[in-house]
Amino acid sequence: MREKMSLDIAVIQMAVEPGTPAINMEKAVAMVREAAKNGSELIVLPELWYSGYALDQLAADAMPLSSHPGIQQMQRLAKEYGVFLAAGSVATKKQGSYYNTAVFIDNAGRITGQYDKIHLFPLGLHEDQYFAPGKDFCLVDTPWGRVGMILCYDIRFPALCQNLVLRGAEMLIIPAQFGAARIQHWNILAQARAIENQCFVLACDVTGDKDSGYCGSSLVVSPWGEVLVHGDDQETILYGKLDFSQIEKVRRTIPVFEQRRPIFDEIIDKK
C-alpha cells in the first residue's frame, strides 16, 4: 500500500572504468553522498558500477552478495542518510556460478530486493558466456508503492516488464551499460516500456569518453511517456520529482489493464 504520493529521485550517470573497483567505488560514494545531501529520497546507480564489464576478472571481482564491499558500502550510506538505494548491479558468485545481480537497499540499510539478470547480452561483451541467467522477478515494496527492477538488455523484452507491472509494480528501475551505437533504441524503449505499462521508468546508463562506447542518455519517463529528465553524455546526477497520482489518471484515461485480453498473451509452441 502506498504511503507517499511524491518522490524525489536521483539517477547517477557515471563513467565506469572496467577492472578498477577502487576508483569506481570512490566516485560512486561521492555521487551518492551528493545526491542524498540534495534531498533525494531514492538514488539509482548504473549496471556493474563497481567493476565494470571486466568479465575476464570475474574470479577476482565477483563474490557473494552478503560480503560484497561495494554493496556493503552502499548499505552504510543508505542507513547514514536515510535514503533508498537502487544500487545498480554488481558481479556476484553463488553455487559456483557468476551472476549480474541488481540490488535494492532500504533506508535502514537492509537489502530488500535482488535480481539476477535474466537476458544476457550475446554480442560484443558476450555476457552470456560469463554469467548464468537469473530465473526470477524482483519486486520491492516501498512507501511509494511497488518497484520492479530489471537490467539493461532486459529492456528489449516487454513481457518481463509487463509481468512486473501485472504483479503490482508502478515504477521500473533499469540500471544499464547500454552502448552508444544503439542509444536511439534505449531512448525509444524506455519510453515504450513506460507508455505500454503506464508506469514510471527510471533508466540509468553509464557514460564515458569517445573510446568507451558509452554516452549516457539516462532518462526518467512518466506513465504518459513524457521524458521528465534526460541526461547528455556527461557525468552527472539527474534529479526529478515523481507524482504517483499520475498513474491513476493515466490508467483511468486509457484503461489498458482493464481491457487487455490475457488469452492473447500466451506463447503457443507450434513446433
- Catalytic residue among 41, 47, 127, 170, which? 47
Q: How many CA within 13 A on the CB side of residue 40? A: 24
User: pTM (2 decimals)?
Assistant: 0.96
Out of 117, 138, 170, 204, pick the active-site residue.
Answer: 117
Q: Do residues 85 and 45 lie in contact, with contact meaning Cβ atoms separated by under 8 Å? A: yes
**The pLDDT of residue 271:** 43
pLDDT tens series, the chain, 271 aa: 789 999 999 999 999 999 999 999 999 999 999 999 999 999 999 999 999 999 999 999 999 999 999 999 999 999 999 999 999 999 999 999 999 999 999 999 999 999 999 999 998 889 999 999 999 999 999 999 999 999 999 999 999 999 999 999 999 999 999 999 999 999 999 999 999 999 999 999 999 987 889 999 999 999 999 999 999 999 999 999 999 999 999 999 999 999 988 766 665 554 4
Please indicate whether residue 266 is annotated as part of the active site. no
Tell me which of 27, 41, 138, 152 is the catalytic residue: 152
Strand partners of residue 237: 12
Which triple of cell numbers denotes residue 235? 557525468
How far does CA 218 lie from the centroid of its chain?
11
Q: Give the angle subtended at the CA of 83 by the CAs of 81 and 89, to the nearest 5°.
A: 115
Sketch out the chain's domains with CATH numbers.
6-265 (3.60.110.10)
Q: Are 53 and 128 within 8 A, CB to CB? A: no
Q: How far is CA 109 from CA 8, 105, 152, 179, 196, in A?
A: 18, 6, 25, 31, 33
State the pLDDT at residue 265.
65
Instruction: State yes or no: is 135 an active-site residue.
Output: no
How high is the pLDDT of residue 125? 85
Residue type, 208: G
Per the CB < 8 A criterion, the answer to whether 51 and 57 are in contact is yes
State the CB neighbour count (10 A cutoff) for residue 257: 12
- The answer to whether residue 215 is catalytic is no
